[in-house]
């Protein structure tokens, strides 16, 4: 009878460590793929619908145009709602002044900033209306497949100038 060769203990330890590392790497890869799925959905833009040729399909083209006009009207109404609410920018002190990101750039972030005074308005109501406009603006950008320069616009400072809140970007020398 032949005696079986014995594997050194150090070799067994190395084999166990390698097997453990290989198994954990495989599990991490599976978990990473599962974690990436929601992100992939979020980053995938909605399908951009090509314009319908009015010559070949005038009815569908008319319906598509009416639908787009409805979106534009909703955005305009939301925008006018916010601008009417913040028309009075008078304030007693700087603590009543706010800088608000307004609209949405296609790459993310606000399209612009506006100054507002919360002296005579309900701040929660204002912020809810701004959030509704910003969400509708972002959705419209996505539906239309719009693009932008993706530049990050720094948030300007707000100043109280003769009892009126206004934006002041002294870094670039621009006053809004």
What is the rounded CA–CA span in Å between residue 168 and residue 99?
10
pLDDT single digits (tens) 32-57: 444 444 444 444 454 455 667 777 87
Which pLDDT does position 147 carry in this prediction? 86
In degrees, rounded to 5, the angle at the alpha carbon of residue 93 between the alpha carbons of residues 89 and 97 is 45
Q: Which residues partner with 144 through β-bridges?
A: none
79 or 61, which is more confident: 79
What is the rounded CA–CA span in Å between residue 162 and residue 175?
15
pLDDT single digits (tens) 113-132: 999 999 999 999 999 999 99
- Mean pLDDT on 1-25: 62
Q: Residue 101: enclosing H or E segment and its boundaries?
A: strand 97-102
- Mean pLDDT on 59-78: 73
Cα–Cα distance list, 81 to 76, 125, 128, 133 (Å): 8, 11, 11, 9
Our measurement of the distance from residue 148's CA atom to the centroid of its chain's CA atoms, rounded to an integer in Å, reads: 13
């Amino acid at each position: 009878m032949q005696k079986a060769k014995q594997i050194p203990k150090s070799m067994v330890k190395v084999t166990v460590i390698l097997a453990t590392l290989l198994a954990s790497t495989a599990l991490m890869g599976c978990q990473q793929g599962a974690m990436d799925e929601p992100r992939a959905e979020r980053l995938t833009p909605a399908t951009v619908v090509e314009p319908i040729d009015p010559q070949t399909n005038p009815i569908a083209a008319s319906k598509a145009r009416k639908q787009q006009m409805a979106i534009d009207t909703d955005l305009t109404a939301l925008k006018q709602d916010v601008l009417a609410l913040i028309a009075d920018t008078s304030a007693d002190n700087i603590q009543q002044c706010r800088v608000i990101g307004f609209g949405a750039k296609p790459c993310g972030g606000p399209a612009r900033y506006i100054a507002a005074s919360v002296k005579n308005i309900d701040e929660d109501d204002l912020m809810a209306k701004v959030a509704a406009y910003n969400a509708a603006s972002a959705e419209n950008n996505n539906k239309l497949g719009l693009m932008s320069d993706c530049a990050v616009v720094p948030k300007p400072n707000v100043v109280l100038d003769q009892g009126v809140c206004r934006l002041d970007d002294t870094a670039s020398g621009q006053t809004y």
